[in-house]
Amino acid sequence: MSAMFVLSSVVYAAAEATGVPYQRTGGIFEMVSHAGPMVKFVLFSLLALSVGCWCVILLKVRLFRRARKETHEFIELFRQRKNYVGVYRESEYLEDSHLAQIFRTGYAELNRLSKSLETKSLQDLKVNPEVLLENVDRAIQGGIMAERQRFERFLPLLATTGSTAPFIGLFGTVWGIMVSFQDIGMKGAANLAVVAPGISEALVATAMGLAAAIPAVVAYNQFANRIRTIEGEMNHFSAEFLNLLKRDLMRRSKQDEQLSESPRLAAQD
């Protein structure tokens, strides 16, 4: 509704500025129907871009809201953890939480490494925890990139519309004005009654281009800023998760060393 109001206001103002009262019986739709084929093509192209952008905006708003809500639930779940297995199982339903996805990616990689060591009968091999953490870190970084791509999906449409829609609309306006001047030359009459309707109809393209570009630019900037915040949250959580894993692995290795030394001490006694 606001876009239609802006379009109508621009066109009516342009018509009044030319000194010719514009017939408002059909409004914006009458001007579109009277426009030339090229201007109509430009208008329908801009309309398609605008509809696509609004669909992306609504989907992204829903995605970011669900991600924020589920991330808060995961943080509470992670803080109250008793073990990582329970957190992994209970967080499987949090599909839109970026932190839950990062945790599951890292824990799944750690689980695969542990099973690989067991299947290869390498239980007695003293594995440096740093080696395991490097593999987990690489898996987490891959998960961060995947999550960023998930949040950035379809955002190029907003950027493309915001940067090109005003120029597409301007092209339609220039084309409409060119046609109006051609009509003047063919009719041999250069008065406002001849040129004003064509120019008013051509200006609709510029107004439509601005109406499509402004929401796209505003939404793209907001989403890009939100994605940067989400990426910072994922990096912070990955560092905290790796530190926790490192402490757990070092504690387990010390316990294993103590258990292996106790039979030796008993045999010496």
User: What global pTM score does this model have?
Assistant: 0.77
128 versus 238: which is more confidently predicted? 238
pLDDT at 155: 95
Give the distance, in angstroms, between the CA of residue 58 and the centroid of all CA atoms in the same chain. 11
Lookup: tokens for 123: 């239980």
Mean pLDDT of the 88-112 span: 91
From CA 156, how far away is CA 167, in angstroms rounded? 17
What confidence category does residue 122 fall into, taking pLDDT thresholds of 50, 70 and 90? Answer: very low
For residue range 141-181, list pLDDT tens digits in order: 999 999 999 999 999 999 999 999 999 999 988 888 887 77
Tell me the C-alpha distance between 74 and 90, whole Å.
Answer: 9
